[in-house]
Structure 1
Amino acid sequence: MPISPPLFVVFNRASGHSDRDELGPAVEAACAAAGRRCELLPVNHPRDLAAKAGDAVRRARDTQGIVVAAGGDGTINAVAQAVLGSGCTFGVLPRGTFNYFGRTHGIPADLDGALRVLLQEQPVPVHVGLLNERVFLVNASLGLYPQLLEDREAWKQQFGRSRLVALFAGLKTLLRGHRSLRLSIELAGALQQVRTPTLFVGNNALQMEQVGLPQARAIDDGQLAGVMLRPVGRWSLLALLARGAFGQLGEADQVQSFAFERLTVTARAFGARRLKVATDGEVLWMPLPLRFAVAPQPLMLIRPTGMAPERREVQAAAAGDMEADAA
């Protein structure tokens, strides 16, 4: 009888759930019941996350083990960065506020359900986005969206982590006003000069479906989804936010969306050498040009087979709305 591979669990004590001190004992108990060996690698400060993820990959390579990320999308991103190209299998225990990566792949948000998937399911290849060789699993962006994330984090520090806090932070950012970026974009061999308040690149089909953009199928087929807004005022931005909340963003004239495998971005501002970007909720400065691409290797992710239940629900609701409009 083959020996089941051990688990090396990197977990972020600062992630969104309040049960972070219970995670370790729960993982150990589930692994013991399943006859699986596990090692816990807690992260107490974000600066230690990359090193801890690298340590987990080295241990997993030596034992043909599985690297597991427990935390929000930012933690999962950091561990995936270490796992990609290593030959290791990847597992996740979603513990964040939004958990888009886990949700789009049908991994439950509750710990018991996520552990069942981790201990019982098989790895499936899932494609990964790259921005200048930096991994993104959910999205990467520049312009208005990184500013929204920075403001949201400031609000969370003051009022706590919740979707309601995130919503009010976003509203305040939009009402404050914004500047448009002047970009040169190379797509499919053609160069475009654009002005836009934000360029958003998605790698999460559920997120695209929820706001009503048609590129979810392209993501399923191994591409990335680009979204740009035409220059608009703050009230028009609020109207677009409302459209997205009702799953109708793709119907707005101010929105341009497209699928691609490679995209290169430079700034038209004189002397610009870098831009502020966001990858899976983490904001940083990156040197130009910015190169978005599908990673040449997939992640081997332990997940249930087939489409996630939440995605089926979103698609069913959209189909029902289309039937109602036709009637």
Structure 2
Amino acid sequence: MTPTAASAAFDESAKTLAADAPFFIVMNAGSGRRQSDATRSVLERELGAVGRRFELRVVDDPRRLADVAREAAAAARKEGGVLVGAGGDGTLCTVAHAAHDAGCAFAVLPRGTFNYFSRDHGIPADLDRSTTLLLDARAFPVQVGFVNGRMFLVNASLGLYPRLLEDREIYKRQFGRSRLVALWSALSTMLKPHRHLRLHIDHEGSTTEIRSSTLFVGNNRLQMEQIGMPDEARALEQGLLVAIAPRPVGRLMHLWLSLHGAAGRLSDSDHVVSFTFEHITVTHPSKKRRLVKIATDGEIAKLQMPLEFRVSDKPLFLLKPEPAEAEANRS
């Protein structure tokens, strides 16, 4: 596969940070006060013990997360430091967006349920290990995607998938956060009535109309591998994104496709359309500038059509293990 212009632009060397670069850590308190206290304790033990300066900003109101992240990113850029996100993929994406805009290095302390972004880059889920990694890791360029002006690290979607996420949050509030609760919620949503979208997709000079319950755009190699799409996973390393759309099928077939994905066999199905791209524009056949629900890394927003999905022409510089170690850590 020929590298794209975007991937060629990412052929930059990893950056070694100054030995005294400070860390500006933004954490979403929605994960719980106990988790916030535990994170602070580990930071004081691992970073404080070696005299490394850090500042932890715990955000109690999720609506302020983006503003706090931008303030911390400005401080990191001014002082040659690192902006660190502590949380799940949604929190990490918001904080990463601020780092990307400010042009400062970014690091993560995984504190979520699935942690697709950190796992894909070989960052340990263990808080002690991921904190220790901050001290000597280099910053490597990694690919990010955008839909209109909204960044995503793992995936973006419209249609049924945002509904799955909304229902999952309801189940989590009732039964707690776990992968089993997320799976049960997904099965319940799949069995409810849903309508199919009619979309026009402009890609490389041609327009294709699709009917589907959802349009899913992936930017995570681990997630693509887990659902059984290895060729698409490799395309992500060439500066491309992956679009996936199930063909119009009934609820039971949707459930069957989901089980195929969970078993890592989605590419075996004839009921799924997929393609890779650098840039696509998605419109409704009526051409009306309507608002649609979009999910980016688990967070829901309303964006106005047309929707432009694209690979960013500027990488995010992420602190992560050296390539061989990162590959060994992926799980």
Per the TM superposition, whether the score is higher than 0.5 is yes
- Quote the offset at 1:15 in angstroms: 2.5
How far apart, CA to CA, are the structure 2 residues paired with 1:309 and 1:245? 23
- Residue equivalent to 1:309: 328
- Distance verdict in 2 for CA 1:118–1:17, change over 3 Å: farther
Q: Is the 8 A contact 1:132 1:292 kept in 2?
A: yes
Mapping of residues 176-215 of structure 1, within 5 Å: 176-213=192-229, 214-215=231-232
Q: Is the 8 A contact 1:16 1:95 kept in 2?
A: no
- Residue equivalent to 2:300: 283
Aligned residues: 311
Q: Is the 8 A contact 2:200 2:208 kept in 1?
A: yes
- Quote the offset at 1:45 in angstroms: 1.3
TM-score (norm 1): 0.92
- Residue equivalent to 1:118: 134
- Residue equivalent to 2:188: 172
Question: Per the alignment, in what secondary structure is the counterpart of residue 101 of structure 2?
Answer: coil
Q: Is the 8 A contact 1:17 1:97 kept in 2?
A: no
Q: Is the 8 A contact 1:14 1:44 kept in 2?
A: yes
- Residue equivalent to 2:57: 41
- Quote the offset at 1:18 in angstroms: 5.4
Q: Is the 8 A contact 1:186 1:265 kept in 2?
A: yes
Query: Is residue 77 of structure 2 the alignment partner of residue 61 of structure 1?
Result: yes
- Residue equivalent to 2:43: 27
Q: Is the 8 A contact 1:227 1:256 kept in 2?
A: yes
Mapping of residues 287-302 of structure 1, within 5 Å: 287-302=304-319
Q: Spell out, residue by residue over 1:136-189, the C-alpha distance to the aligned partner (whole angstroms, 9 max, x if none).
A: 000000011001000001111111111111111101101012100000100111
How far apart, CA to CA, are the structure 1 residues paired with 2:101 and 2:301? 23
Q: Is the 8 A contact 1:13 1:21 kept in 2?
A: no
- Residue equivalent to 2:249: 232
How far apart, CA to CA, are the structure 1 residues paired with 2:21 and 2:255? 49
Kindly provide the amino acid, as one letter, of the partner of residue 28 in structure 1.
Answer: E
Q: Spell out, residue by residue over 1:187-214, the C-alpha distance to the aligned partner (whole angstroms, 9 max, x if none).
A: 1111011111110000000000000012
- Percentage of matched positions with identical amino acids: 50
How far apart, CA to CA, are the structure 1 residues paired with 2:260 and 2:276? 21
Q: Spell out, residue by residue over 1:263-308, the C-alpha distance to the aligned partner (whole angstroms, 9 max, x if none).
A: 1001125745121110000011100100000011101000012253
Q: Is the 8 A contact 1:66 1:88 kept in 2?
A: yes
Q: Is the 8 A contact 2:86 2:108 kept in 1?
A: yes
RMSD over aligned Cα atoms: 1.5
Q: Is the 8 A contact 1:88 1:300 kept in 2?
A: yes
TM-score (norm 2): 0.91
- Residue equivalent to 1:247: 264
How far apart, CA to CA, are the structure 1 residues paired with 2:288 and 2:243? 26
When structure 1 is superposed on structure 2, of 302-311 and 100-109 the one drifting more is: 302-311
- Distance verdict in 2 for CA 1:292–1:113, change over 3 Å: same
How far apart, CA to CA, are the structure 2 residues paired with 1:64 and 1:310? 28
- Quote the offset at 1:21 in angstroms: 1.9
How far apart, CA to CA, are the structure 1 residues paired with 2:83 and 2:136? 15
